[in-house]
Structure 1
């Protein structure tokens, strides 16, 4: 049945064999036995073309829901045998990482239907609090993470760093900006339970040449940054993907010519790694590989058109 359904999808004996890891002759033999059992041809095939017959179309329509049920039952049994069941709570810091996590969760749900995944945003003013409190078990956040009780996992997303500014800002007419230019701007920063080393990395106090960078108001929620930038109270570095999710009249996103990329990586409490957590991270990295890597992961979300959450 699996061979029939795969061939019905691929309409190509070679690709079907490759997909299932069997020989092409095995595909032909199984199809011949199935057609003898049914007493009718399921495919019209020539040297140039493979197509479902009317009976084949009906058989696929009748069989597909039942076969999905079988696959889900097997997946649930396998997951239960591996201890991959229960609830998994995941945090994120940016809208595009949340969008990506929801997409990965759909794939994870097909692999491990016994796990109920909940995805929620973590406020920038307390980036590690929910992990430590147990409100989330896994999080995607911006390194650096140098906490003894937290383990930094693989990078999920890499994005160019851009500078968010008002359309009325003196930099607005420039094609790009440099890190040295920050000495001539007011940089918004973050307040709350945020490590100093993290702030110094993302909101530096001096340029590479040592010039001081003026700091403005410290925010506790990302939405505060958008309103302050619109009001001309300062600028802030963000990931380039933010232009798709936070764009609005009066805001500009100018690329840096010399700033490092912003990574978003998995992090979880040391010593609290579960089978379902490992399974989600593996599913995520498989998804990223299929999307073309960490630098293309977010753009791949838009390939079909539409943003999502």
Structure 2
């Protein structure tokens, strides 16, 4: 009988046809590969490989044996992985939702890290629009989602902050502030901002698109919107202005819209949200991935510093960024 390690050795050698390369693939010494093959051939009483100082080739017996061994080995390793996944509660698929293009980038980064750590579990990505913000979670269409805070829902849990961004104001190109480096939200108190269509909570929309300035001056609420593309089309048409996250200048760049840094609104924070009643091992594994990424990037430290600056020094301003440029083609 063959051991699994022996089967893997001859399979890799049949692909590489080189003892040194096979050893590197298997992370063993070349002498170990040679000894393993020799032991197998001795038990069989026949050669599987012909080797000279210049080349290694399969014998007719070796070709036949490899053809039968390979599918058996693949079935055994697949069965083992599936059994381990079931034991860990990691079998199946994790459905990850995201709201907006920037959240989509964070979802992609998390997916790559998750699949590196938990290769036996698949991941699917699903875009969610803010007109049905928590609907897919509550209808069990996604397991968790990448979304901007705040989230204050009794049936939902909030994970670590994975990113923070300052704010920009989307204005049409002909707007008086379009060519400026930064603007105070107080300066646009006479403008119209948009309302949210659908079921996004009022507190969530109010944080991202305030209906009043920091000093309490009221702004008009205009047309209801469902997507960022809809918001920017209305901005370009001169129907209003829109506070947005800084990354919107990249992900939603338009030649007829300018993005100007807002220097007196707090930053936005991106986090993971899931249903408390549906928490499972897959969700916790993704949260661990997110926590590790946060620790590497130190995003929470920067976010905390910005929040503290606003809370303790109301007149503090974020550093003015350079002028936004369109993304490279």
With structure 2 as the length reference, what TM-score do the two structures score?
0.66
| 1:289 paired residue number | 295
Equivalent residue for 1:280, pick from 276, 283, 286:
286
The 5 A counterparts of 1:9-158 are: 34=29, 37=32, 78-158=84-164
Tell which deviates more after alignment, 147-156 or 69-78. 69-78
Shift of 1:290: 3.1
Matched, 1:229 2:224: no
Shift of 1:200: 2.1
| 2:250 paired residue number | 244
Shift of 1:122: 0.7
Shift of 1:99: 2.0
Residue by residue over 1:157-202, the C-alpha shift from the partner in whole angstroms, topping out at 9 and shown as x without a partner, is: 2111111111111211322111212303221231211212222222
CA, structure 1 residues 72+169, in 2 after alignment: closer, same or farther (shift >3 Å)? farther
Shift of 1:75: 6.8
5+ residue gaps in structure 2? 1-26, 35-73, 304-326
| 2:209 paired residue number | 203
CA RMSD of aligned residues (A): 2.8
Q: Matched residues in 2 for 1:75 and 1:284: separation?
A: 24
The question of whether the paired residues in 2 share the 8 Å contact of 1:88 and 1:117 is answered with yes
Shift of 1:240: 0.8
5+ residue gaps in structure 1? 1-30, 40-68, 297-306
| 1:263 paired residue number | 269
CA, structure 1 residues 248+34, in 2 after alignment: closer, same or farther (shift >3 Å)? same
Q: Matched residues in 2 for 1:158 and 1:71: separation?
A: 42
Residue by residue over 1:209-240, the C-alpha shift from the partner in whole angstroms, topping out at 9 and shown as x without a partner, is: 12111222120222211211111111111111
CA, structure 1 residues 34+172, in 2 after alignment: closer, same or farther (shift >3 Å)? same
The question of whether the paired residues in 2 share the 8 Å contact of 1:166 and 1:230 is answered with yes
The question of whether the paired residues in 2 share the 8 Å contact of 1:76 and 1:113 is answered with no
Q: Matched residues in 1 for 2:213 and 2:299: separation?
A: 31
Alignment length, in residue pairs? 239
The question of whether the paired residues in 2 share the 8 Å contact of 1:76 and 1:112 is answered with no
Q: Matched residues in 2 for 1:290 and 1:247: separation?
A: 29
Larger Rg belongs to: 2
With structure 1 as the length reference, what TM-score do the two structures score?
0.69
Shift of 1:246: 0.8
Q: Matched residues in 1 for 2:178 and 2:297: separation?
A: 33
Shift of 1:149: 1.0
Matched, 1:180 2:186: yes
